[in-house]
């Protein structure tokens, strides 16, 4: 296990609610009578990519205007600006154990990378909330618009692995969604799932383990599926043991 490849939304932080609010504010600014409720947004998350999500919703909404691709792209750029304002105001908390595991990886020489469908500005503004230097901790960041296809296609993981110079089995992916899990599996990397509020009802067949989060010493995580059935704190040693078991099963 030479690298950890993190998804962003729902893994590093509970960002999806921030995205939902930003979408709704962008719709209101554009004069569109559209508001995505939490329940609707949970269903829309099956469509990966913000522009794709808007286009999908408009296509299936009979009373909505049919916007051109350029209009959707403009609307999404404004949504990104609004989302970054939300993140910069510290409204989006990091999930338990994430920054602890980053520090442990750096101390032990395990590479860090990101493979996400969100846009690069969204990643950068979130990481800077953990400290200006944190952005430089990651060997590579592959965002959705940098590859031909978004998750569940494996493109972001294949590109991240290529940039790292590693074979798929030398990295562990950390995801929160079914689409993300499938993308990592198609790329060939064993995958740990820390489900988020918006993905808690999804299915995660074949994951190395499924937990509520990565855990802190004072806040161990419940393991829903995997080698350990008790509460745990995910350390590099724990990941290495699960990674070895995954290799034996393969």
Active site residues: 7, 9
**DSSP characters over 20-43:** HHHHHHHHHHTT------HHHHHH
Give the whole-angstrom CA distance, residue 241 versus residue 222: 17
Q: Give, in order, the Cα–Cα distances in Å from 132 to each of 123, 210, 214, 243.
A: 13, 31, 23, 31
Residue 124's contacts (CB-CB under 8 Å, 6 or more residues apart) are 135
Check: CB of residue 176 under 8 Å from CB of residue 193: yes
Check: CB of residue 128 under 8 Å from CB of residue 135: yes
- For 22: left if phi > 0, alpha if psi spans -120 to 50, otherwise beta; the answer is alpha
């Amino acid at each position: 296990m030479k690298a950890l490849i993190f998804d962003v939304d729902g893994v590093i932080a509970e960002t999806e609610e921030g995205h939902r609010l930003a979408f709704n504010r962008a719709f209101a600014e554009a004069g569109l009578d559209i508001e995505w409720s939490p329940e609707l947004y949970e269903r829309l998350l099956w469509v990966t990519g913000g522009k794709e999500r808007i286009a999908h919703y408009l296509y299936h909404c009979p009373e909505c205007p049919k916007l051109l691709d350029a209009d959707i792209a403009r609307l999404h750029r404004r949504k990104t600006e609004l989302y970054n304002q939300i993140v910069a105001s510290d409204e989006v908390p990091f999930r338990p154990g994430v920054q602890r595991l980053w520090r442990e990886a750096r101390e032990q020489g395990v590479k860090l990378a990101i493979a996400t469908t969100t846009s690069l500005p969204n990643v950068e503004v979130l990481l800077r909330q953990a400290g200006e230097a944190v952005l430089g901790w990651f060997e590579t960041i592959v965002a959705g618009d940098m590859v031909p296809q978004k998750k569940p296609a494996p493109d972001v993981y294949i590109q991240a692995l290529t940039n790292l110079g590693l074979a798929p089995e030398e990295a562990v992916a950390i995801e929160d969604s079914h689409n993300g899990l499938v993308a990592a599996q198609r790329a060939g990397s064993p995958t740990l799932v820390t489900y988020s509020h918006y993905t808690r009802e999804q299915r995660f067949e074949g994951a190395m383990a499924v937990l509520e989060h990565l855990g802190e010493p004072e806040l161990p995580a419940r393991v829903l599926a995997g080698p350990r059935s008790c509460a745990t704190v995910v350390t590099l040693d724990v990941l290495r043991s699960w990674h070895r078991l995954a290799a034996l099963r393969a």
